C-alpha cells in the first residue's frame, strides 16, 4: 500500500512537531483528493491558515547575519530613508542593503547553468507567438501596479564581472540577440529587500529622498500637468527610476498626488506641524494606503476567488471583519483581528527580508503587451462608458526617456482611462513580450545601459545563477506534491509537447519560471513591519492620518479623490484593476464565510 505521505515529503515532515505533523496531514489529504480552492470558503480559509503557519515555521530561512543594534523607537516614529529602524530590536532588519532570505535551501540538483540552454528555453517556450490576454480580469493598471510594488520591495545588486550568453548553433533565428552581456548577480550580495515603505516614490537613501522633496509643507515634487518632473537629462524625479515606462511613472505620479493630498489634510488639522513632520506622517499614511490596496484590492483581483477574498481580508482586518476592528481595534490577535495593528511585529524567529524565491515567482513580464491602446476620452455620447480607440502605441515608444515625453503628450487622464480599458497579458507560456527580448535596460540612475539584453533568456539564467530551486524541487520544499510526469502539470497537449522537446522526460529539470507559466491556473508579509503592527496607531499616524488609511479601501478610492468624475464616467467594473468596461461582479447574497 502506498504511504499516506508522499515519500519525497517525508524528510520534511520528520522535522515537524507533532501538532504541525497533524496539521500537515490535513492539508496533504486535501492536496491529494481535491483542490483546496474548490472547498467552501471557511474550509478553504482554514487550509490557507494552516499553510501559512507551516510555511512561517519551516519555509523562512535566514541567510547571513543582521548585525544592527537596538535603538529607541520613540526617536524613530517615522519611516527612515533606507528603511532602517523598523524591527523593534535591530535597526537593520528589513532595510536597504540587507541580504535576501530564502524560503528553502539553494538547489541541490547538479544541472549546469546552461542545461538546457536558457536561450533555447526562452525561444522554444517563452517567446510570444501571439498576445494572450487575461480577458476582463486584469488590466494595464494592474500590470503597472505590480511593477510599482516590485520596485518598492526588491533590488538585486550586481557584480562587476559580466556574463556573455550566445544562442547555440541552430537557434539564432529564434533569438533577437545572437549574443548579449550582462553583469552577474553579486555573490554574497546585499541586495536590497525593503519593507513596503513606498520607497518607489520616496527613494531609498538621503540623496534620493532629497531629490523628490520640495521641502515645503511636507510635499513631493510634481509638475503642473500632474505627472512626474524630469531632470535636465530627461530622467524622472522619483524614488525608483530604473526600467520605467509610462504606466509605471503614472502610478508614481498618482501616489505623489496622494502624498501631497495627505499633507494638505494634515496641515489643515495640525497647523503647527513643520515640513519634516508633515512629510513623515504623510509618508506613513501613503505607504499604508499602498500596502492596503495591494492586500485587499490588487491581490484579490489577481486571485479572484471567494476564498482568497476572505483570506486577504482576514489578513488585514481579521476574521471578525472591518466593522469589528474599527469598533474594538486589534484585540484578539492575528487570526480574529488581522495582522495590521498587532501589538508586536511578528517575524517567526527569522529577521524579516524578502526571499530569492519571492523574486522568482514574481517574474511576470508576460503581463506586458506589445502595444498600448490609447482611447479617446472625449466621446460623443454621454452613456458610452467604453471610450473609442484612438491609436495603438508600441510599448518601445513608452519606455525610458522617450516614454516620459510621450506620456506628457498623452496626459495623465487619457493614459489612466486607456490603461483601465486594456486587458494585460496572461502569465502563460509563449507570451513573453517580444520587445523585452531586445531591451536597453537602465542602470541605477535611470541611464541607458550600453548593451541590450534578452530578458527572457536572462530570467531563466538568473534563477539558476542564484541557486533558486527548479520547479519540482520548489514544489517539494513548499510541501506540495511533486509532479512525476508532464501530465501532472497540465492537460494542454501543446504545452506537454513543448516541454518534452526542451526537457525530454526529466521533470526535475523544468525551470521554475517555465513551470509556473505552464501549470494549470486556478480560476480566478505585512506582519513583520512595526508601522503596520505595534505602531499602527493614532500616536504614530495622527488621528486624521489613521482615519485616511481606514477610509481608503481600493485604488478606485484613490482615483476618485484625484479625478472625481473619471470612474463615474468611464468605469463599470467593480475594481479599478479589472477591465473598466466589464460588468461589475454579481451581487452575492450569501455571506462570504458561508459560500
- Rounded Cα gap, residues 35 and 520, in angstroms: 12
Region near ligand HEM per CB under 6 A, out of 172-180, 215-223, 229-237, 359-367: 359-367
Of 182 and 281, which CB lies nearer to ligand HEM in the complex structure? 182
Stretch that binds ligand HEM, among 199-207, 300-308, 326-334, 355-363 (CB under 6 A): 355-363
Beta partners for 375?
Answer: 389
Instruction: Please say if 362 is a catalytic residue.
Output: yes
Rounded Cα distance between 107 and 113, Å, is 12
Closest CA to 227 of 209, 212, 249: 249
**CA nearest 395: which of 443, 433, 342, 447?**
433
Interface with ligand HEM, residue 458, by CB under 6 A: yes
List 362, 471, 541, 593, catalytic entry: 362
245 is a site residue for ligand HEM (CB under 6 A): yes
Taking CB under 6 A as the criterion, which residues in 130-149 touch ligand HEM? 143, 146-147
- Residues 154-183 binding ligand HEM (CB under 6 A) are 154-156, 182
Return d(Cα 282, Cα 288) in angstroms, integer.
10
Q: What is the rounded distance in angstroms from the CA atom of residue 46 to the CA atom of residue 308?
A: 11
Q: Which of 23, 150, 282, 290 binds ligand HEM (CB under 6 A)?
A: 150
Minimum Å distance from CB 245 to ligand HEM?
Answer: 4
Contacts of 270 by beta carbon, 8 Å cutoff, 6+ apart: 277, 542, 544
What values do phi and psi take at 103, rounded to 5?
-90, -10
Instruction: Pick out residues in 6-45 that bind ligand HEM (CB under 6 A).
Output: none
Q: Is 363 in the site for ligand HEM (CB under 6 A)?
A: yes
CB of 507 closer than 8 Å to CB of 484 = yes
Residues 252 and 201: their CA atoms lie apart, in Å, by 6
Question: Cα(525)–Cα(47) distance, rounded to whole angstroms?
Answer: 18
Of 34 and 157, which CB lies nearer to ligand HEM in the complex structure?
157
Closer by beta carbon to ligand HEM, 180 or else 317: 180
CB of 440 to ligand HEM, least distance (A): 9
Least distance CB 234 / ligand HEM (angstroms):
16
The answer to whether 145 and 251 are in contact (CB under 8 A) is yes
Whether cis (ω within 30° of 0) applies to the bond prior to 367 is: no
> What angle, 0 to 180 degrees and rounded to 10, lies between the N-to-C axes of helices 41-58 and 18-33?
130
- Of residues 242 and 385, the one with the C-beta less far from ligand HEM: 242
Complex with ligand HEM: residue 440 or 481, whichever CB lies closer:
440
Out of 462, 475, 525, 562, the only residue in the binding site for ligand HEM (CB under 6 A) is 462
* Minimum CB–partner distance for residue 269 and ligand HEM (Å): 37
- Show contacts with ligand HEM in window 309-348 (CB under 6 A): none
CA distance 588 to 595: 9
SS3 assignment, position 574: coil
User: Is the bond preceding residue 116 a cis peptide, omega within 30 degrees?
Assistant: yes
Phi and psi (nearest 5°) for 232? -65, -25
Interactions with ligand HEM, residue window 367-406 (CB under 6 A):
367-368, 399
Among 312, 364, 410, 528, binds ligand HEM (CB under 6 A): 364
Binding of ligand HEM at residue 359 (CB under 6 A)? yes
The only residue of 257, 365, 464, 476 in contact with ligand HEM, by rule CB under 6 A = 365
Minimum CB–partner distance for residue 462 and ligand HEM (Å) = 5
Active site residues: 362
Given the rule CB under 6 A, which residues bind ligand HEM?
143, 146-147, 150, 154-156, 182, 243, 245, 359, 362-365, 367-368, 399, 439, 441, 458, 462
Amino acid at each position: 500500500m502506498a504511504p499516506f505521505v508522499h515519500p519525497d515529503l517525508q524528510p520534511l515532515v520528520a522535522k515537524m512537531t507533532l501538532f504541525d505533523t497533524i496539521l500537515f496531514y490535513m492539508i496533504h489529504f486535501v492536496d491529494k483528493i481535491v483542490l483546496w480552492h474548490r472547498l467552501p470558503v471557511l474550509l478553504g480559509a482554514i487550509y490557507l491558515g494552516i499553510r501559512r503557519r507551516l510555511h512561517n515555521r519551516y519555509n523562512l530561512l535566514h541567510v547571513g547575519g543582521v548585525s544592527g543594534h537596538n535603538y529607541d523607537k520613540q526617536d524613530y516614529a517615522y519611516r527612515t530613508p533606507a528603511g532602517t529602524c523598523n524591527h523593534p530590536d535591530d535597526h537593520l532588519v528589513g532595510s536597504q542593503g540587507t541580504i535576501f532570505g530564502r524560503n528553502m535551501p539553494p538547489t541541490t540538483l547538479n544541472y549546469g547553468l546552461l542545461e538546457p540552454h536558457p536561450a533555447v528555453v526562452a525561444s522554444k517556450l517563452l517567446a510570444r507567438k501571439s498576445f494572450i490576454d487575461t480577458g476582463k480580469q486584469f488590466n494595464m493598471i494592474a500590470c503597472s501596479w505590480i511593477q510599482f510594488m516590485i520596485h518598492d520591495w526588491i533590488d538585486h545588486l550586481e557584480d562587476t564581472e559580466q556574463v556573455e550568453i550566445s544562442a547555440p548553433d541552430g537557434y539564432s533565428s529564434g533569438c533577437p540577440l545572437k549574443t548579449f552581456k550582462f553583469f552577474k548577480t553579486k555573490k554574497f550580495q546585499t541586495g536590497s529587500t525593503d519593507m513596503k515603505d513606498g520607497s518607489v516614490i520616496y527613494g531609498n537613501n538621503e540623496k534620493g529622498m532629497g531629490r523628490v522633496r520640495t521641502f515645503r509643507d511636507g510635499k513631493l515634487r510634481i509638475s503642473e500637468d500632474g505627472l512626474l518632473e524630469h531632470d535636465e537629462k530627461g530622467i524622472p524625479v522619483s524614488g525608483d527610476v530604473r526600467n520605467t515606462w509610462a504606466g509605471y511613472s503614472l502610478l508614481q505620479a498618482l501616489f505623489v498626488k496622494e502624498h501631497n493630498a495627505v499633507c494638505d489634510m494634515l496641515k489643515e488639522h495640525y497647523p503647527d506641524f513643520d515640513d519634516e513632520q508633515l512629510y513623515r506622517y504623510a509618508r506613513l499614511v501613503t505607504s499604508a494606503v499602498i500596502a492596503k490596496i495591494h492586500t485587499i484590492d490588487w491581490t484579490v483581483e489577481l486571485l479572484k476567488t471567494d476564498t482568497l477574498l476572505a483570506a486577504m481580508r482576514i489578513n488585514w482586518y481579521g476574521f471578525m471583519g472591518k466593522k469589528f476592528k474599527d469598533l474594538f481595534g486589534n484585540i484578539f490577535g492575528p487570526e480574529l483581528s488581522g495582522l495590521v495593528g498587532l501589538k508586536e511585529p511578528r517575524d517567526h524567529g527569522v529577521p524579516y527580508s524578502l526571499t530569492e524565491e519571492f523574486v522568482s515567482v514574481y517574474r511576470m513580464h508576460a503581463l506586458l503587451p506589445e502595444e498600448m491602446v490609447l482611447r479617446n476620452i472625449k466621446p460623443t455620447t454621454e452613456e458610452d462608458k467604453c471610450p473609442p480607440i484612438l491609436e495603438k502605441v508600441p510599448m518601445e515608444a513608452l519606455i525610458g526617456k522617450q516614454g516620459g515625453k510621450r506620456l506628457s503628450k498623452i496626459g495623465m487622464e487619457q493614459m489612466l482611462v486607456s490603461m483601465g480599458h486594456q486587458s494585460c497579458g496572461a502569465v502563460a507560456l509563449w507570451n513573453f513580450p517580444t520587445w523585452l527580448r531586445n531591451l536597453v535596460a537602465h542602470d541605477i540612475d535611470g541611464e541607458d545601459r550600453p548593451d541590450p539584453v534578452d530578458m527572457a533568456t536572462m530570467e531563466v539564467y538568473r534563477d539558476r545563477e542564484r541557486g533558486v530551486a527548479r520547479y519540482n524541487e520548489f514544489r517539494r520544499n513548499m510541501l506540495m506534491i511533486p509532479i512525476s510526469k508532464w501530465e501532472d502539470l497540465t492537460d494542454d497537449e501543446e504545452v506537454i509537447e513543448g516541454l518534452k522537446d526542451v526537457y525530454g522526460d526529466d521533470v526535475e529539470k523544468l525551470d521554475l519560471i517555465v513551470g509556473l507559466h505552464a501549470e494549470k491556473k486556478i480560476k480566478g508579509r505585512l506582519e513583520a513591519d512595526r508601522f503596520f503592527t505595534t505602531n499602527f496607531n493614532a500616536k504614530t499616524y495622527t488621528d486624521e492620518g489613521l482615519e485616511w488609511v481606514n477610509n481608503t479601501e481600493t485604488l478606485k478610492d484613490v482615483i476618485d479623490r484625484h479625478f472625481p468624475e473619471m470612474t463615474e464616467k468611464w468605469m463599470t467594473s467593480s475594481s479599478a484593476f479589472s477591465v473598466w468596461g466589464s460588468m461589475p461582479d454579481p451581487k452575492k447574497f450569501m455571506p462570504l464565510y458561508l459560500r
